[in-house]
Amino acid sequence: MISENCLSTLETDCEATVCRWRCAIEVIDELLSQHSLITGDEADDLLDLRWTLIQADDAEGTIRLFCAVRRRMEQRHYLAFFRIRRWLENHIVARVVLSSQAGEKQVRLKLDHYCVEAIRRSSLCVALQTGGVIDRPRLRFCFRQTQVPQEPRRQAEASTEQALQRVEN
């Protein structure tokens, strides 16, 4: 069952402090359960996205995959992609270093664009608004450091197999 926070359109209901780490996975599972509304290729893409969210080790790859799946499916499944987008914005940040003398700035991710390069540029612009000299800026996307209980993670990985079986049937 999807959390009530995920069903809300209020921005405060999907803040990082109240957003559950499995929310996006549950939304993807809901999409996968609607066999007649998605193609086989879309199911494969959703399963790949689901796996990257469970692994949480390649934030930029996750954003890149999300953008590709979003471009393909968002028109037909807007609310689901709204929920996934909010989850990503709460769990991934942009870490920016503007110059070799400057420290790292953490910028909240905003997925207002449909490709990683545009999201990177937007995040860099936000970091520049805080001031500082720009000299060879570097930006990397990272998952927020949160403690995920091992038992729910194991359950999520086990449910990947169940999701695969549902798609095959």
Q: Write out pLDDT tens, residues 20-73.
A: 656 899 999 999 999 899 999 999 999 999 999 999 999 999 999 999 999 999
A 10 A CB-CB count for 137 gives 14
pLDDT at 4: 47
Phi, psi of 43 (to 5 degrees): -60, -45
Q: What is the pLDDT of residues 107-158, one digit of tens each?
A: 999 999 999 999 999 999 898 887 767 777 889 999 987 544 445 555 555 5
Select from 134, 112, 130, 131 the least CA-distant residue to 122.
Answer: 112
pTM of the model: 0.75
pLDDT at 129: 86
| Beta-bridge partner residues of 104 | 97
Taking the CA atoms of residue 43, residue 52, residue 117 and residue 128 in that order, the dihedral angle to the nearest 10 degrees is 140
Question: Stretch 70-91: mean pLDDT, rounded?
Answer: 95
Helix, strand or coil, per DSSP, at residue 140: strand
Structural tokens at position 134: 């720009």
